[in-house]
Structure 1
Amino acid sequence: MDTEKRKQPLARRRVLALTAGSLVAAGCRQGEQRSADKTGQDPEARTSTDGPDGALGANFNEDPDSVTFGELRELSASWLRGFVPMPEVEDDASQQRAIAKLLDAHRLGHSTVLSLKFPYNHKPIPRPGSSAMDAELARVDKVLHTVLDTVDVLAIGNEPFIESLDQDRGSGALNAFYETVAEHIIAYRKKRFGSRCRTHLHMGALNFLDKPDKRTRATDRWLSFTRRTPEIEGVDIHPHVSAPEKVKPYLDYILPRLRDGQKFLVTEFSLVQLWKLHLNDTIPARFARRYHVPTDTPVWKLIREAIEHPFPAEKWRDFLSMSPWFENNKHFLRDQVSHFRDTGRLAVATYGVTQGAAMTRNFGPDKTPWLLNSLYANRTVERAEDGSPAHNYGFFDDFRALQRPQS
């Protein structure tokens, strides 16, 4: 199925009935309902020690309808992350799907991360002072009105160095746009909440830092702005790589450029580029013999068959465990989270929960195989008799084992 039925946010009465106790403890006042008159510590004295420390959460990216709260409970996931495409924001930002999902998650006691996505990879990015910039900031205000003091972490930007034009990255226009947005958010938060807002601010995600030519004056400026801006508590990274060792260059690049006390987010990470390198491999001979599949079947074709006719759980597990490129990396999630935590600088990492509809559409040899990353194999494996999705091999169990009570 290419599309999923849109789910409505949980009815407030139902949520309160389910979570009255936790809401009393955590507080459920949202956005500007919290008093703007509270006073306390100077915001310039805020440090990331006040925020999350080494948490691991779930990520739905752009597809909030693909994950249920029951699935999050099964994972023991206390954090949830998604991004909002800013062109989708209308007058009532709480009705935008990703925001609605995160508000529901907050009411149910989850901690939340929201990334603001500004898609300017097909047109020039707005210049400060322009009418286009004013329109973007007006949309930002609508989001802030809804989520500030409710979401725990706000990432300013999703993947800015992908969601922009080459000339804007080279000219400094990209940096100027995001610096303007960040300064606007900081001023809005200070005006409405003083120093008592629970929402922590990070600059959005850097990609491709394992490639030397992607570490540029623009990425240096991104981190310089992050470092010198007291209200910004760190930066986000998205290491989607072709080998586990290619994650380390991200940390080697960002950590020396952050000030003492700043932390980093990893709201996306995976070996998807490694999986893609093996789509044209033939399937394992042992698997072919066991399941009577032609030995010259390419990996991509077998995955497409699983999409069209979901496999029994044992067959999908055998496919992955018998494929050395997957089996040898089945603990990537566990190992990377351990490395992130060992730095002492991780705020929150989040990992993809389910196989979304877009991951399976028109699957072929050139498709990026995001579906191999997911914690649930909900589109390539038959569901259980009770309708619950299958756990993906390796990653599901490691994700649960990595959860900590303090998170």
Structure 2
Amino acid sequence: MTSQLNRGALGANYNEKIIWINHDELQRVGARWIRGFVDMHQIDSSHPEEDPNIKALFKAVDAGFKTILSFKWNYTDRDFPSPGSPEHTAELQGLNRLLSIVMGNVDILVIGNEPFIEVKEGQADERLNAFYESLADAVIDFRKMHSDSAMSTRLYMGALNRLDLPVKHTPAVERMLHFIASRSDLDGVDLHLHIPTLAGHKAMLDYALPRIRPDQSFLATEFTTMWHWKEHIVDKASTYFCKKYGFPTGTKVHQVISSGIENPMPYEQWVDFLSHEPWYMEYENFVTDAMKLYRGTGRLNVATYSFCPMRYRKQPLLATDTPWMLSGVYAPSAVQLKPDGSKYENFPWAGQFRLMQNAE
């Protein structure tokens, strides 16, 4: 089945917080695609239609947005079930109940979230492959057995992480890519490109894309230079910023952010803070550059960029934390709300995001 490409669309990623979908925020920056995931071990499999995230997703469908839904199976604390076991049968039953309400209603369904992360230590091997292959085949069979409308939902599998690193080119990853290529009903692979350099983003594409069929495409449902930013949150904040806003000289970047979490700063101060950090401004065109790279392959279906990182975080940002709040299209909880109670567009990602909508 040949992929139906969307010319490299750029949409909004809400991860597990589909309930945070805000139609006004999406429209402000021109987003038409929404992506989120549901945890298959957290959702009420007996009544999935009552799940708040599913309800929020369907409201977006009714409002005319295109949607990507990923299914997450968290096996970090348990062994994969053996085929035919009660546990495996329960997984398939829960899957079928959810498929009965989403198939034909969402535009894209992704089998998996981050399987090579959401796995018990030592089991990212053929046991993982066998489990996800059984799920994929169940999804494919379900779609074939139902009405023509079910066929409108395109199928992807993944998401794979850090394939820029040769150490991640494991037999299990190779097997998953081969499996994706072997199934005509799968439109391609989902990739999570959290990589510190654009050269690394390219390396991951150069590894993954030749291993699926030429007629298949990819999703990039998460992408950032997060690990580059994480390296720098222990840096000293700029002398300019500290002097202007009364912070002691030597205040660390994460301490400035923590101060904002405790007492949200004006938006102008947030921009002043970020715009004077060279490590941040080095990638001020990241969304534009990444989208040009992805679209340049001719094989991008949809990429989605974060709309939900740490929007309501109250805990301090520690030196060892991952600063997801730097990556969102809308400003995080370290920034004051607008007078009307809405969030400010984040610097510089909202402008980049809007620009890439018009550049499709």
TM-score, normalised via structure 1 length: 0.85
Q: Percent identity?
A: 40
CA distance in structure 2 between the aligned counterparts of 1:402 and 1:167, rounded to whole angstroms:
40
CA contact (8 A) 2:21 2:56 kept: no
Could you tell me which residue of structure 2 aligns to residue 111 of structure 1? 66
Could you tell me which residue of structure 2 aligns to residue 4 of structure 1? none
Q: CA deviation at 1:273?
A: 0.8
Q: CA deviation at 1:97?
A: 2.7
From 135, 143, 156, the equivalent of 1:189 is: 143
CA distance in structure 2 between the aligned counterparts of 1:196 and 1:404, rounded to whole angstroms:
31
Of 69-78 and 216-225, the range deviating more from structure 2: 69-78
Could you tell me which residue of structure 2 aligns to residue 243 of structure 1? 197
CA distance in structure 1 between the aligned counterparts of 2:222 and 2:69, rounded to whole angstroms:
13
Of 349-358 and 142-151, the range deviating more from structure 2: 349-358
Of 98-107 and 359-368, the range deviating more from structure 2: 359-368
CA contact (8 A) 2:313 2:333 kept: no
From 112, 136, 149, the equivalent of 1:157 is: 112
CA contact (8 A) 2:241 2:273 kept: yes
CA contact (8 A) 1:266 1:349 kept: yes
Q: CA deviation at 1:167?
A: 2.5
CA distance in structure 1 between the aligned counterparts of 2:36 and 2:127, rounded to whole angstroms:
26
From 343, 350, 353, the equivalent of 1:396 is: 350
Q: CA deviation at 1:222?
A: 0.4
CA distance in structure 1 between the aligned counterparts of 2:142 and 2:315, rounded to whole angstroms:
41
Q: CA deviation at 1:362?
A: 4.3
Q: CA deviation at 1:386?
A: 1.0
The one-character-per-residue Cα deviations of 1:319-371 (angstroms, maximum 9, x if unpaired) are 10000000111111111011101111001100111333575534211111000
The one-character-per-residue Cα deviations of 1:280-300 (angstroms, maximum 9, x if unpaired) are 110001111211211110111
From 220, 233, 238, the equivalent of 2:187 is: 233
Aligned-partner SS, 1:293:
coil
CA distance in structure 2 between the aligned counterparts of 1:196 and 1:286, rounded to whole angstroms:
57
CA contact (8 A) 2:312 2:333 kept: no
Letter in 1 for 2:345: H
Aligned-partner SS, 1:261:
coil
CA contact (8 A) 2:261 2:316 kept: no
The alignment status of 1:178 with 2:120, answered yes or no, reads: no
TM-score, normalised via structure 2 length: 0.96
CA distance in structure 1 between the aligned counterparts of 2:141 and 2:87, rounded to whole angstroms:
20
Q: CA deviation at 1:130?
A: 1.4
CA contact (8 A) 1:359 1:370 kept: no
Could you tell me which residue of structure 1 aligns to residue 292 of structure 2? 338
CA contact (8 A) 2:221 2:304 kept: yes
Could you tell me which residue of structure 2 aligns to residue 25 of structure 1? none
CA distance in structure 2 between the aligned counterparts of 1:84 and 1:219, rounded to whole angstroms:
23
From 288, 291, 297, the equivalent of 2:242 is: 288
Could you tell me which residue of structure 2 aligns to residue 214 of structure 1? 168
The alignment status of 1:89 with 2:46, answered yes or no, reads: no
CA contact (8 A) 2:5 2:217 kept: no
Aligned-partner SS, 1:237:
strand
CA distance in structure 2 between the aligned counterparts of 1:165 and 1:108, rounded to whole angstroms:
39
Q: CA deviation at 1:193?
A: 2.4
Please list every run of at least 4 consecutive aligned residues from structure 1 whose deviation after the TM superposition is greater than 6 angstroms. Answer: none
Q: CA deviation at 1:67?
A: 3.5
From 352, 356, 377, the equivalent of 2:310 is: 356
Aligned-partner SS, 1:386:
coil
Letter in 2 for 1:128: P
Letter in 1 for 2:234: N
CA contact (8 A) 1:63 1:356 kept: no
From 201, 206, 209, the equivalent of 2:155 is: 201
Aligned-partner SS, 2:342:
coil
Aligned-partner SS, 1:116:
strand
Of 214-223 and 362-371, the range deviating more from structure 2: 362-371
The one-character-per-residue Cα deviations of 1:172-213 (angstroms, maximum 9, x if unpaired) are 010000000000010111001258621000002001212111
CA distance in structure 2 between the aligned counterparts of 1:93 and 1:405, rounded to whole angstroms:
37
The alignment status of 1:137 with 2:117, answered yes or no, reads: no
Aligned-partner SS, 1:82:
strand
Letter in 2 for 1:327: M
Superposed counterparts of 1:246-325, under 5 Å: 246-325=200-279
CA contact (8 A) 2:104 2:149 kept: no
CA distance in structure 2 between the aligned counterparts of 1:224 and 1:110, rounded to whole angstroms:
32
Could you tell me which residue of structure 2 aligns to residue 168 of structure 1? 123
Q: CA deviation at 1:403?
A: 1.0
Letter in 2 for 1:186: I
CA contact (8 A) 1:360 1:371 kept: no
CA distance in structure 2 between the aligned counterparts of 1:341 and 1:145, rounded to whole angstroms:
33
Letter in 2 for 1:88: Q
CA distance in structure 2 between the aligned counterparts of 1:212 and 1:257, rounded to whole angstroms:
15
CA distance in structure 2 between the aligned counterparts of 1:64 and 1:194, rounded to whole angstroms:
27
CA distance in structure 1 between the aligned counterparts of 2:271 and 2:149, rounded to whole angstroms:
50
Could you tell me which residue of structure 2 aligns to residue 26 of structure 1? none
Letter in 1 for 2:348: G
